Amino acid sequence: MIDIDGVAQDARRLVESCGDEESLKQVKAGLLGKKGSIAALFKKLKEVPENEVAAAGKKINELKLYIEQLIGQQRTNIKEIIKKEKLSISALDITLPGYNYGAGSLHPIEMINREMIEIFNDMGFSVATGPEMETDELNFELLNIGKDHPARDMQDTFYIDSVKGLLLRTHTSPVQIRAMRQTEPPIAIIAPGIVYRRDSDVTHSPMFHQIEGLMIDRQISLADLKGVLTAFLHKVFGKRAVRFRPSYFPFTEPSAEVDVSCIICHGKGCRVCSHTGWLEILGSGMVHPNVIRNVGYDSDKWQGFAFGIGIERIAMLKYGIDDIRLFFNSDLRFLSQFSGILH
């Protein structure tokens, strides 16, 4: 009888074994040619009973189509293989490093600075800046720190010219004075920048970075100060306990020192927090009416808060750095630890 399935299986085996165009041609001739398998099957139709001829003929035709399809597919396969072989000649060692310029890095102070500025920007504070060399008037006097104020001992000052009252600013508060003198209230600014104090040891640097903030409007209160600074500290340190306690700054009244629960020991007490469980993070308070008046605002109408935070201290806590001098001696073994762009 006519063995359609047998022929189909043989054909598939033959076609798929062809590795190049030439052998495929030969196989094709053997299957579809005049003396090929299909032709042989048509010849056998004569032996088939009359009533089955039509059905058998249809089957042989289907088989022929199937084989043509197989050959077409195999031709495509052969072309692909040849192309791949050609490409593999130009193979690369994909494990070699890519072309690059080496790993640069942003300074850790820059990173913390940006992080904090962004938090305050998001809350609606704008950035203000000013010179690092200031006058005694802007750095002290207008901030309610007169010439003979004992608070001057808290900020040991570098003088450029003590007669003319030129000095290196000890805080960025003069920026607040400048901003208030330029703008009518309401005002909400932060003043990031470099400040100088005549002090040098493992935790004090004669030059360091600060961000100060100021918000003045009609009804800004101590409760608002707590709200803004708590939100800020939660963003920087995560949700941990924040403590406000009374303190003193000549330019604020009431004043508050702000602590967060120690990020090392979580309040149990350790060396970093001097066994108190708290880390002193920033100074703040309600702007003293004298300061408000000194810039020409009406202290009966306008009130608000100010705060200041040292960047180095935050960076030291966040990155576990134990010597402030590392920030300023440009050791690449230190700086390169802060490389990478996804901060």
Partner 1 sequence: MIISYNWLNDWVDIDLSPENLAEKMTELGTEVDEVKDLSKNIDNLSVAAVLKRTDNAFKNGSNKMLKIDTGREIVNIVTSASNVKEGDQIVWAAPGTFINGAEIKKRNFDDVESIGMAVSLKEIGLEESSEGLIVFDKYYKNGTGLKDIPLFSDSLITYEITPNRGDLLSHLGIARELAAYFEKPLKKRVPDIDLGKYRPFDLEIRSRDVESYYCASVEKIKIAESPLWLKIKLLKCGIRPLYNIIDISNYIMLDTGQPMHAFDLDKLNKKIVVRKAGNGETIETLDGQQRTLSEDTLVIADADSSVAVAGVMGGEVSKISNDTCRILFEAAVFNPVSVRRTSKRMNLPTDASFRFERGVDRLQTRHSLAAAIDMTQNICGGEIMQAAFYDEETVPKKISLNYEKVKNYIGVSIDKRFIDKTLESLGISKIEEAKNRSVFTAPSYRHDLTVDVDLIEEVARFYGYSKIEPTIPYIRPSSVKKSKKKQKIADLLAAFGFSQVINYSFLDKDSTRSFSSEKPIEISNPINIDQSVMRTSLIPGLLDNLVTNLNYGSQTVKIFEIGTLFFRTGEANYLGMLAGGDYPANWYSKKDRFDFYDIKGVIELICAPETVEVSADVPAFLHPARSASVILDQKSVGYIGELHPDILINRKIDKPVVVAEINLDYFKSSRHYSYKKIDKLLSIKKDISLIVDKAIYTQKIIDAICEIKSVKTAIPFDLYQGKSIPEDKKSVTFNVVFDNRVKDDIQNELNKLADHLEKRLGAKLRR
Interface positions, 269-298, toward partner 1 (CB under 8 A): 274, 286, 288-289
228 touches, from partner 1, Zn ion, none (C-beta below 5 to 8 Å by class): partner 1
* b/e sequence 210-245, b meaning 16+ C-beta within 10 Å: bbbbbbbeeebeeeebbebbeebbebbbeeeebeee
How many angstroms separate the CA atoms of 123 and 232, rounded? 9
What character string, x for contact with Zn ion (CB under 5 A) and - otherwise, covers 133-172? Answer: ----------------------------------------
Q: Are strands 242-249 and 303-310 parallel, antiparallel or unpaired?
A: unpaired
295 neighbors 165 (Cβ within 8 angstroms):
no
Task: Number of residues interacting with Zn ion: please give it, by CB under 5 A.
Answer: 6
236 neighbors 119 (Cβ within 8 angstroms):
yes
Would you count residue 264 as binding Zn ion (CB under 5 A)? yes
Would you count residue 339 as binding partner 1 (CB under 8 A)? yes
156 neighbors 198 (Cβ within 8 angstroms):
yes
Q: What angle do CA 4, 10, 15 make, to 5 degrees?
A: 120
296 touches, from Zn ion, partner 1, none (C-beta below 5 to 8 Å by class): none
> Closest Cα partner for 260 from 318, 343, 220?
318
Q: How far is the CB of 302 from partner 1 (least distance, A)?
A: 12
Would you count residue 235 as binding partner 1 (CB under 8 A)? no
What character string, x for contact with partner 1 (CB under 8 A) and - otherwise, covers 14-43? Answer: ------------------------------
Would you count residue 223 as binding partner 1 (CB under 8 A)? yes
Residue 167 or 273 having the CB closest to Zn ion: 273
> What tokens were used for 48?
């088939």
Would you count residue 236 as binding Zn ion (CB under 5 A)? no
* 93 CB-near residues (< 8 Å, 6+ apart): none
Would you count residue 303 as binding partner 1 (CB under 8 A)? yes
Would you count residue 72 as binding partner 1 (CB under 8 A)? no
What character string, x for contact with partner 1 (CB under 8 A) and - otherwise, covers 108-127? Answer: -xx---x--x---x-xxxxx
Instruction: List the one residue from 73, 206, 298, 320 that touches partner 1 (CB under 8 A).
Output: 206
Q: How far is the CB of 76 from partner 1 (least distance, A)?
A: 37
Instruction: Give the helix/strand (H/E) hosting 166.
Output: strand 166-168
The alpha helices in 89-105, defined as continuous H runs, are none
Would you count residue 227 as binding partner 1 (CB under 8 A)? yes
3-state secondary structure 205-226: CCEEEEEEEEEEECCCCHHHHH
* 281 CB-near residues (< 8 Å, 6+ apart): 233, 258, 259, 260, 309, 313, 314
Candidates 91-99, 114-122, 195-203, 258-266: pick the segment binding Zn ion (CB under 5 A): 258-266
How many angstroms separate the CA atoms of 200 and 51, rounded? 112
Residue 4 or 222 having the CB closest to partner 1: 222
Q: Is 101 helix (H, G, I), strand (E, B) or coil?
A: coil
Q: How far is the CB of 273 from Zn ion (least distance, A)?
A: 3
273 touches, from partner 1, Zn ion, none (C-beta below 5 to 8 Å by class): Zn ion
48 touches, from partner 1, Zn ion, none (C-beta below 5 to 8 Å by class): none
What part of residues 96-135 is at the interface with Zn ion (CB under 5 A)? none
Q: Is 89 helix (H, G, I), strand (E, B) or coil?
A: coil
Instruction: List the one residue from 104, 137, 184, 323 that touches partner 1 (CB under 8 A).
Output: 104
Residue 28 or 313 having the CB closest to Zn ion: 313
Instruction: List the one residue from 72, 159, 298, 319 that touches partner 1 (CB under 8 A).
Output: 159
Binding residues vs Zn ion (CB under 5 A): 262, 264-265, 270, 272-273
